[in-house]
Chains A and B, each alone.
Chain A
């Protein structure tokens, strides 16, 4: 389906007209025949006994109101019987032709292909009319919808494609401030992506979020060739796809089970860094119900699907005792212990040594099974650390009412990760650094962020000290070289209180310096990556951009605004 270009409107009209060509010609012919017959039929004789005739104009008038079944009663002259005879022919011919034309037109309107073409045209037009930067999301399943919602909350418009019209219709039921512009079409078709604005200047990023690796790869290839500069995040579930996608310089490739595996491994190995990650990526907090990190000891994994195996790999990396329970028999000897059976049965759990275990992962692809596994497990061993996988959005209420320690929602993982890459790629990079940083650093940062979060939800911001983004600070740094982070980051209303934010990293000449010291001197061209409350970030922007505020924050007094005031200030220095 080619839906790009302004001439498409016209060609849909042409398509309609071409389908109606037969009925139209029939209509014109019968109309002409009727008019001609009316004009030729002898009318009542005039005073000299010669038959009169309806003029063509009068005949056309009569046929017009007869054929359209309006049946207007006004007749130019009284009719003769010859004219009446022809009028009967006119009525039956033209009314039938008219009805046939209408019927064909209505049939055409219901034609699936035509309706799709019209929908695609409307879609392309609405995309062209988007006046703000938008993110193009291919695949509006659970993950894509989650990402669209998260972007919407940040005030970013989205364009969403999905093969399944039902998923597209769901967008109307969700709580969007600005609903995405949607089309039910195959995102792996380059023309569809072009219609969705792939090459438009306002297209800010592409997210390939379908549950089909081949389609995601097709989106990546299309973007790589047609819009190579766009940031792109892709979901991939197979290693082969990941390798193929990597050829096309995508910003990030997200494999849900890898994300989960890394997340779980991080939680076990480096709980503070894991906690910081949860905060900075703004994961929904009801996914973690306890403050304790996953304990070390004997773990039971129920369900050996991709996520279950990812959990197994993460835990195996931490050298824990592992038992895997799955309905299917073992596929090889690589796992430490494998029990074939239904993990919802207490007897099977007992066989897996549930009494000695410290934690359990319910990772089957069935939500009800997962819940009943945990219920059965906790009855046998109440102190278990429980990790549960939620598959379906519709089971949200069940999980909200259920006690668990950690809930894994693959679509949340992917959406949070994708959002982080789309919003600020520096944050995932920082988190990657933090995962290998000393425990104390991560722990301090976790404490700081948790303290800041008491004032409100945290946001992340990148601000560069450049004339466009921080004019006041840029100018101040010209003659005042003593501006440190500590001096700068103070609240303009409660000075000398520090701003409720934390500098995560500072970029200077292309190098990132994570968690800079408060005494670090700032220079022109530096880039700050900070996390803080919305109010603190707004204050920071004002400090960087508005000179009187900057002056007050640095000096602790108002800057004399007038020439006289400045002269006085110079004459009588503070004392």
Chain B
């Protein structure tokens, strides 16, 4: 067992599961989408990105790309949330919640690709 692989797989899966947890639920209802979960998803996603840095293989490059996509979507979602919550008079309206959640849905897709690659890579390994 390779401890590096454990850490790597852990963060990639955790990023996907947290993202999924935030995403699931009625898209316009704030009660289903906890902002702390978004925060956790973003942090774990950032760590996963850093873990993928410096891998020179082709698969490593795709990993990094999917991770960067997820980061971008989640950061955008966080900015939208901060803007809606603090900078608008209306606060978190259902439209705003829907925007945030749909952005995180995009990130979820990227994270799922990441997980798929991880699984495929693991299955390809003969050792």
Q: Mark B41-55, 1 if CB is under 8 A from A, else 0.
A: 001001100110110
Does B126 sit within 8 A of A, measured CB to CB?
no
* Residue of A with least CB distance to B86: A57
Contact with B43, one of A14, A17, A18, A32 (Cβ below 8 angstroms): A32
Alpha-carbon separation in the docked complex, A281 to B28 (Å): 86
Chain B residues near A84 (CB-CB < 8 A):
none
**In the complex the two chains form, what is the Cα distance from A55 to B84 in whole Å?**
12
Closest A residue by C-beta to B87: A57
Q: Which residues of B contact A24 (CB under 8 A)?
A: 50, 53
What separation, in Å, do the CA atoms of A504 and B43 have in the docked complex? 79
The binding surface of chain A is classed by DSSP as helix
Q: Is B56 an interface residue (CB 8 A)?
A: yes
Are B39 and A36 in contact (CB-based, < 8 A)? yes
A28 at interface by CB-CB < 8 Å: yes
Nearest CB of A to B105, in Å: 20
Q: Which residues of A contact B40 (CB under 8 A)?
A: 32
Contact B35 A11 (CB under 8 A): no
Check B50–A56 contact: CB distance below 8 A. Answer: no
B85 close to A55 (CB less than 8 A): yes
Instruction: Report the interface size for chain B: residues with CB under 8 A from the other chain.
Output: 16
The answer to whether B53 and A17 have CB atoms under 8 Å apart is yes
Instruction: Check: A29 CB closer than 8 A to any chain B CB.
Output: yes
Candidates A28, A31, A58; contact of B50 at CB < 8 Å:
A28
Chain B residue numbers with a CB within 8 Å of A28 are 43, 46-47, 50
Q: Does A254 contact B (CB under 8 A)?
A: no
Point out the residue from A18, A58, A60 that lies within 8 Å of B53, measured CB to CB: A18
Question: Which label, helix, strand, loop or mixed, suits the secondary structure of the B interface?
Answer: helix
Contact of A17 among B35, B36, B54, B86 (CB under 8 A): B54
The number of A-B residue pairs with CB atoms under 8 Å apart is 45
Output the least CB separation between A17 and chain B (Å).
4
Kindly state the separation between the CA atoms of A17 and B47 in the bound complex, as whole angstroms: 13
B82 at the interface (CB under 8 A from A): yes
Q: Which of A11, A25, A29, A56 contacts B39 (CB 8 A)?
A: A56
Question: Given A25-B47, A29-B47, A56–B54 Cβ distance below 8 Å?
Answer: no
**B residues near A58, Cβ cutoff 8 Å:** 86
- Contact, CB under 8 Å: A21 / B54: yes
Given contacts A35-B39, A36-B39, A56-B36, contact A14 B46 (CB under 8 A): no
Determine if A57 and B85 form an interchain contact, defined as CB atoms under 8 angstroms apart.
Answer: yes
**Residues of chain B lying within 8 A (CB to CB) of residue A35:** 39
Interface residue ranges of B14-65 to A (CB < 8 Å): 35-36, 39-40, 43, 46-47, 50-51, 53-54, 56
Q: In whole angstroms, how far apart are the Cα atoms of A222 and B89 in the complex?
A: 71
Say how far A509's CB is from chain B's closest CB, in angstroms. Answer: 57
Q: How far is the CA of A36 from the CA of B41 in the complex (A)?
A: 13
Residues of B within 8 A of A21 (CB): 50-51, 53-54
Q: Which residues of B contact A (CB under 8 A)?
A: 35-36, 39-40, 43, 46-47, 50-51, 53-54, 56, 81-82, 85-86
Can you sample 14 A-B contacts with CB below 8 Å? A11-B56, A14-B54, A17-B53, A21-B51, A25-B47, A28-B47, A29-B47, A35-B39, A36-B36, A56-B35, A56-B39, A56-B82, A57-B82, A57-B85
